[in-house]
DNA sequence: GATAAAATGTGATTTGCATCATTTGTAAAT
DNA sequence: ATTTACAAATGATGCAAATCACATTTTATC
């Protein structure tokens, strides 16, 4: 489903878009297309040309490398811009984006996006804030992935879904065991083993992909570097 | 050595500062202090308040976590801004910065830096470009660190110093074996072992910290994911 | 509902690298 | 030159997690 949209009345604006004036918002609507993606749909693919700024309005998305030993670089929830670095600085996508939940994505012409940065100081400022947060998050991820063992990394990932994505102690894991492994760099088999062990220790309750966090503190202790 | 400086005549401007007009440059000079750091000097420390934007004008710096199992998050060469994310979004430094070579750093008042972003669109744009590049680099580092074994990671690090820092096949490694290990997440002992092995295989020549790259292609093959 | 295909669980085995334990080298201090 | 102290090399051992192999469950397809 593709549709030209009215950004002025959109209630899920990015903090940057909130800074745009009515004229700029209508301009945005004219240079912007919203596309709906279903769980599992590929949004953009590593190696292809990056022609638009992608704005994840609503939904959950993974950024990941391709190939058999694929790695999930980031999992993020809307509202958030995806791949600004790629579109801005490299013409080619260095990673793919795939929907983990049904998602609404707005594809924005790069030119209009750049012009907003030049015309609207608040807009530029908010984009910088978003990029800054992104970098800090990546640093934290780097430290966690190398300092923690499999238990700590898995605990960290579960808390990430609980706090940052679903904001609930119970959630449906949007990843297979293998994908979860690709997210925290452990194998499918080890994910299984550790999950059942955490279940046995009554820290979580698992039934397939349904996860319930029973003991947040215990998981926090495990994931503490 | 501390000195108030004249940014107008400075020939090592960041690409962002190049966009400033004469008036703004003189304003920058009034709100900016240059300090010289010697190899090994701490520039700012994890846990302290981040009060200024730090501009690495000239030199080589490592960003790293503290504690016994310290991790080197990034090694970078001037001209480049350090820790924009921290100053912008968090008041407290999440990592330390230490000079690996004698370095000149300009400490810029955060307020004036933010006002340039709001007043000068080209300035903001260039800051965004720098942040974008930084994020892409971090992604690449993440992939390399998890997909490669110790040989690949060490080869990658050596090529990094050759290409990105010293732009020469021969260079003095600015890190101890232990620090090099902290950079690529391997132990001191393994660094030694792998280095001597690469020397035996005639890919590099080592004498203490003096390194000569003999076979770039072989190292590239090792570091290819 | 039957069959195929994919995802998951689990035990046995291997291995890459860390850890531990010494030795050797090197550079500053006396 | 000799002592002191730290950095680096090297060999032996241990272990966490990967790999392998196969059983079992779940999901998809006809």
CA/C1' separation A153–D3 (Å): 48
Task: Determine contact: A142 vs chain B, CB below 8 A.
Answer: yes
Asked if the Cβ of residue A172 lies within 7 A of any atom of strand C, the reply is no
Same domain, B10 and B111: yes
Percent of chain A clearing pLDDT 90 (strictly above):
78
Q: Give the count of domains, chain B.
A: 2
Same domain, A99 and A14: yes
Q: How far is B27 from chain A (nearest CA, A)?
A: 19
Average pLDDT of span A136-159: 93
Closest CA to B55 of B94, B92, B18: B18
- CA geometry: angle A225, B90, B130, nearest 5 deg: 100
Token pair belonging to B113: 């830096």
Which residues lie closer than 8 Å to A14 by C-beta, 6 or more apart? A55, A79, A80, A81, A126, A130
Same domain, B54 and B157: no
Contact A219, A158 (CB under 8 A): yes
Answer whether residue A13 shows pLDDT above 70: yes
Same domain, B127 and B159: no
Question: Does A178 map to a domain?
Answer: yes
Chain A residues close to B136, C-beta within 8 Å: 85-86, 89-90, 94
Task: Determine contact: B143 vs chain A, CB below 8 A.
Answer: yes
Answer whether residue B3 shows pLDDT above 80: no
Percent of chain B clearing pLDDT 90 (strictly above):
79
Interhelix angle B110-119/B22-30, rounded to 10 degrees, is: 170
Among the candidates B143, B160, B183, a domain finishes at B143
Average pLDDT of span B140-168: 95
Same domain, B95 and B45: yes
Contact B59, B77 (CB under 8 A): yes
SS3 B169: coil
Same domain, B19 and B33: yes
Token pair belonging to B202: 């005639």
State whether A114 and B125 contact (CB < 8 Å): yes
Task: Determine contact: A84 vs chain B, CB below 8 A.
Answer: yes
Average pLDDT of span B10-17: 93
Same domain, A85 and A172: no
Q: How far is B204 from chain A (nearest CA, A)?
A: 27
Question: Does A128 map to a domain?
Answer: no
Average pLDDT of span A63-68: 89
Which CATH number do you get for residue B157? 1.10.10.10
Q: How far is A148 from chain B (nearest CA, A)?
A: 11
Question: Does A183 map to a domain?
Answer: yes
pLDDT score at A60: 97
No. of helices (H) and no. of strands (E), chain B? 8, 12
Same domain, B138 and B175: no
Task: Determine contact: B121 vs chain A, CB below 8 A.
Answer: yes
pLDDT score at A5: 67
Task: Determine contact: A151 vs chain B, CB below 8 A.
Answer: no
State whether A73 and B131 contact (CB < 8 Å): no
Q: How far is B214 from chain A (nearest CA, A)?
A: 30
Task: Determine contact: A186 vs chain B, CB below 8 A.
Answer: no
* Residue closest to sugar C1' of D26 by CA: A208
Which residues lie closer than 8 Å to B156 by C-beta, 6 or more apart? B144, B148, B184, B223
Question: Does A126 map to a domain?
Answer: no
Same domain, B99 and B156: no
Among the candidates B114, B143, B172, a domain finishes at B143
Q: Which domain holds residue A79?
A: 2-121
State the Cα–Cα distance between residues B55 and B107, nearest whole angstrom. Answer: 6
Answer whether residue A32 shows pLDDT above 60: yes
Which CATH number do you get for residue B131? 2.60.120.10
Question: Does A77 map to a domain?
Answer: yes
- Band of pLDDT at residue B68, cut at 50, 70 and 90: confident
Same domain, A22 and A114: yes
Instruction: Strand C: list positions under 7 Å from protein Cβ.
Output: 7-12, 16-21, 26-27
pLDDT score at A104: 95
Among the candidates B103, B127, B143, a domain finishes at B143
State whether A142 and B146 contact (CB < 8 Å): no
For A104-116, what is each residue's pLDDT tens digit? 999 999 999 999 9
Question: Does A58 map to a domain?
Answer: yes
Same domain, B28 and B139: yes
State the Cα–Cα distance between residues A146 and A205, nearest whole angstrom. Answer: 27
């Amino acid at each position: 489903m593709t549709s030209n949209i009215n950004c002025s009345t959109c209630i899920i604006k990015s903090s940057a878009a909130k800074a745009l004036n009515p004229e700029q918002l209508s301009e945005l609507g004219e240079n912007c297309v919203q596309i709906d993606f279903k769980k599992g749909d590929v949004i953009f693919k590593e190696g292809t040309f990056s022609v638009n700024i992608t704005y994840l309005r609503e939904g959950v998305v993974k950024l990941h490398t391709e190939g058999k030993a694929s790695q999930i670089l980031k999992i993020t929830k809307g509202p958030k811009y995806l791949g600004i670095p790629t579109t801005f600085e490299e013409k080619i996508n260095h990673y793919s984006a795939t929907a983990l939940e049904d998602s609404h994505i707005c594809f924005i012409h790069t030119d209009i996006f750049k012009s907003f940065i030049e015309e609207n100081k608040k807009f530029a400022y908010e984009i910088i804030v978003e990029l800054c947060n992104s970098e800090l998050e990546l640093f934290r991820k780097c430290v966690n992935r190398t300092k923690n063992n499999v238990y700590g990394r898995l605990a960290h990932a579960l808390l990430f879904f609980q706090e940052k994505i679903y904001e609930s102690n119970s959630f449906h894991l949007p990843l297979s065991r293998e994908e979860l492994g690709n997210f925290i760099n452990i194998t499918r088999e080890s994910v299984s083993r550790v999950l059942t062990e955490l279940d046995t220790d009554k820290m979580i309750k698992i039934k397939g992909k349904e996860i319930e966090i029973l003991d947040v503190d215990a998981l926090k202790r495990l994931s503490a570097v």
